[in-house]
Structure 1
Amino acid sequence: MSGILDRLFQKRVLRRWRRAARAASETPLPVLREQRGYARQLRAQISQLIHVADGRLALPHIGSTSFPRPHGTDWSWRPALWRGPLGKSGVAAMPTKTALGEEVTLFHDCQLSELSVRQVRNTREGDLAPYGLRMDVFHFGGTFLSLVIDMPPELAKGLTKSHLVRMDAIIETENPIDIFARLNIRHGPNTEQLVRELPTQDKSVMVEFDLAYGKINENRIEKIWLDLILDEPAMNQIVLKDLTFARYRRAAI
């Protein structure tokens, strides 16, 4: 019964505001001023409801960790930035060493930052990540722009030189750009670096880091992080629609 009454009440309120909108050009100014105040209060609440509803009802679902994994995967991960909303969705004129959540940090060496970054909601049917990251770069006077992703400690547990670490990404750019991924593995006083260039001819890209080619002390691995390096990013829009990682052992020969 209460549901029926609620719908009737909402229809009555809608009719009231429809009449007020039609009569606004002739409404006495004191009454119009009062109506404007109420309308602004309603607009703020309605906009907030629409914003939250769009986020919850659009595909894919917030918090999703769904993505294809290679056979034999024993660890996989999608960073939180691509899984759920940040506390602050965007920053203009972004300074260097800006944290984008707890796992991702943006670095550059521009004196004057003409770089804006915004988390965007993925809504296409084929999207698997709930969110993406959009970077709008205008004039770029620095020598480097990179995203540093701190890998969770679980990746280092049990990691051996027989493992491959795979990174998959979906990247859209306005103009062609060279992008490099550098996996850093700190073991004792040393840090091993494995670098791969992303094949950006396609939007969906994949690179593998074969730990057999690194001089790594498996028993002393302390920290792992990845640098995503964007070369000459000026006058470009780069959208990282998804970023995922997986660990698995090299196939026995």
Structure 2
Amino acid sequence: MSEMKPGLLDRVIQQSALRRFRRWAETARHADLRELRRNRAAARRLKYHLDELIYVADDRLGLPVLGNQAVPVPYDADWSWRPEAWCGPLSVQGMSAVANKAMLGREVTLFHDCSQSELTLRQLRNTSADDLAAYGLRLDVFRFDGSYLSLVIDLPAEATVGLKRKHLIRFDAIVDLERPLEIFARLNVQHGPNTEQIVRELPVTDRELVVEFDLAYTKLNEKRVEKVWIDLIFENPDMSQVVLRDLYFSRRPRAEM
């Protein structure tokens, strides 16, 4: 008898188990109750392992290909960061009829003043070889009766350490739009009782966006920096879909003159 190829026995056992569970499922309505109880217990034990396999497989297969894990930042950057919603699975991955000030994860908050919310916000997996981030974020807007809609990303405390007016804060994103839409990015830096703000319009004619905020044009009190966050402001978002495939930040000192 010739030697079995590696894995062949496993496939035979797998097919046998599959046929057995298929037969149990087909005869479940008429099976003896004692037999049905025993089959249910076996199915539940198997389901636990199947769910674990599917969860881990989906998570790993949703990641970008090897080699695309790094955040591409300027060579002289002294800090960089990608929010958690674009890095790994959130415990709650989506919301519908999103309420004002609703948070998705620990760093993303949606603000609006709709009397009736027809907004959905959902984390999705990036699977294209061109995607750098493992996950993306999709915002769907149906009927919109409000006057403002913004997505706020809170930057971590590390972004405030050593932050000075000589710094440029850079914002990189990959954005897919269902239709042309005006989007503004507003940098907010809280220092003591005051907040410095810089607004830039995103060049949405390009899918890959780069925006820089120059702190030299602010009155930042470098000794009292407490918090940094970004507002993404959507103008006239009625009946639109925005997919933020990637989002990351970096900071670098301006070249000395």
Q: Same fold, TM exceeding 0.5?
A: yes
Aligned to 1:121: 125
Gaps of 5+ in 2: 1-6
SS in 1 for 2:172: strand
Using a 3 Å threshold, how does the CA distance of structure 1 residues 9 and 40 change in structure 2: closer, same or farther? closer
Aligned-pair CA distance for 1:225: 1.1
Q: Secondary structure at the match of 1:240?
A: strand
Structure 1 position 188 matched with structure 2 position 192: yes
Percent of pairs with identical residues: 54
User: How far has the Cα of 1:60 moved from its partner?
Assistant: 1.8
- Identify which range, 217-226 or 204-213, moves more after superposition: 217-226
Pairwise CA distance, 1:106 = 0.9
Structure 1 gap ranges (5+): none
Partners of 2:63 and 2:135 within 8 A in 1: no
Aligned residues: CA RMSD: 2.8
Deviation at 1:31, TM superposition (A): 3.6
1:63-116 alpha-carbon deviations (Å, 9 max, x no partner): x86221112100000011111111111111110111111111111110100011
Partner of 2:218: 214
Is the aligned partner of 1:225 residue 2:229? yes
Counterpart of 1:58, as a letter, is: G
Q: What is the aligned partner in structure 1 of residue 81 from structure 2?
A: 77
Secondary structure of residue in 2 paired with 1:16: helix
- Which residue in the other structure is 1:30 paired with? 30
Q: State how far apart, in whole Å, the 2-side matches of 1:112 and 1:52 are.
A: 37
Read off the aligned partner of 1:125 and give its amino acid letter: A
Distance 1:67 1:141 in 2: 37
User: Matches of 1:181 and 1:139 in 2, distance apart?
Assistant: 23
Q: Which residue of 1 aligns with 2:57?
A: 53
CA distance in 1, matches of 2:98, 2:169: 31
Paired residues, number: 246
Give 1:129's aligned amino acid.
A
Which runs of structure 2 are paired with 1:121-140 in the superposition (5 Å)? Answer: 121-140=125-144
1:48–1:134 distance in 2 versus 1, CA, 3 Å = farther
Tell me what 2:243 maps to. Answer: 239
Q: Distance in 2 between matches of 1:193 and 1:173?
A: 26
